Every structure is written in C-alpha cells, then in structure tokens.
Amino acid sequence: MHIGIAGNIGCGKTTLTRLLAEHYGWTPKYEAVTYNPYLEDYYKDIPRWSYNLETYFLAQRFKDVLEIASSRDVIIQDRTLQEGVHIFVANNREQGNLSERDYDTYMQLYNLMMSMVNPPDLLIYLKSSVPHLVAQIQKRGRDYEQTISLEYLSGLNRHYEEWIAAYKGRLLTIDADSLDFEHNPEDFASITDKIDAELYGLFK
C-alpha cells in the first residue's frame, strides 16, 4: 500500500511521515531535500534554476514510486510525484519562472512516467495557511528557505487548493494550523483516528 503526504513548504509533511511510520510500523520514504544539488541555487535565482530543480525532483520521485510499486511494505511518502507538476511546476510557469519550451519538455517526461505508475492508495493533505507556513519555515531555520516570498507561498497554496478540489483518488484532508501533532498526543491521535476510519473502517 502507498500512502502519500501532500502539503506546502513548512506544513509538517516530514514530521507527520515520521510519526505515522513509527505509529503504524510503515516504511517511510522521504523527499530528497538535503541532497538536492540545485536547491540552494534555486532559491537564489528561481527563473534560472526552475527547470533543473523540477526535473531533478521529478526523476527522484519517479524512482521512489517505482520502488514503492515493487515493495510489499506499506510505504508512506513525504510529498508525491503529482505535486511536482500540479503545484510547483504550475506555479513557476504562472509566475514566469519556467518557459513554455521547458514546461512542454517537462510535461512530456511527466506524462510518460504517469503512464507507468499509479497514484497513492490514500493521499493525506496537510492544509496550512501562509502565516502558519511562514512561522514553521522560520522556526526550522534552513538558510536557503528564508528568502522564500509570501507571493511564492501564496501561489503554491492556491495551486494546492485547486488540485485537491479536483483530486479523484482517496483523500484525507487535515487542518495543520489547528494541530500540534508533533508535541500533543491528542492532536496526533485525532489524525490516526481518521486514518484508521479511512483505511480500516467498516465497508472499506
């Protein structure tokens, strides 16, 4: 089984992935942020490095999905293949950071990959407001993230809402603003209760 965690920068995807993996005994699959060779350059000059960054992420996420498909474990993934296209690439295209030529090439790669893999069996969306995201980004203190603009985060959030509204698969939306699932056991239990009902409830 493949569980995907979706959400904007700073919403708590990695933390929730770790906690749910520990709680259920699932295998976590984390996004390759620390080792991305383009990330710091990207936040310094987004138009110059958008295509490079997004293509690198696409290749890594496709590799992850192929590994997930061949595994017998229940795997929980920190950010999904689809988000790269429907959120980040769409936002960069809209803001003029990605040329139509690069966008068309990227979409050819993406569509070929999607013809070979399936979406997650369950998508968990961590919904967050921009002020909450900003507070979390500042709190974790990654240097390359401190220059992210409010316009950029707002654009990503809008694309997330549009994507989720049209999403056709099994979906669970969590309001991350109102929860401290890392430090409050009751908040974390409210999430696992919803997951249990979705995956293991009657008539499922």
Q: What residues are labeled active site? A: 78
Alpha-carbon span 120 to 87, nearest angstrom: 17
Exposed/middle/buried for residue 112 (C-beta within 10 Å: 0-12, 13-18, 19+): exposed
CB 133 within 8 A of CB 139: no
Alpha-carbon span 4 to 170, nearest angstrom: 10
* Cα of 128 vs its chain's centroid, Å: 12
Its sign, for the CA torsion 80, 10, 199, 74, is positive
Alpha-carbon span 87 to 137, nearest angstrom: 18
Exposed/middle/buried for residue 84 (C-beta within 10 Å: 0-12, 13-18, 19+): buried
Residue position matching structure tokens 């980004």: 137
Helix (H, G, I), strand (E, B) or coil at 4: strand
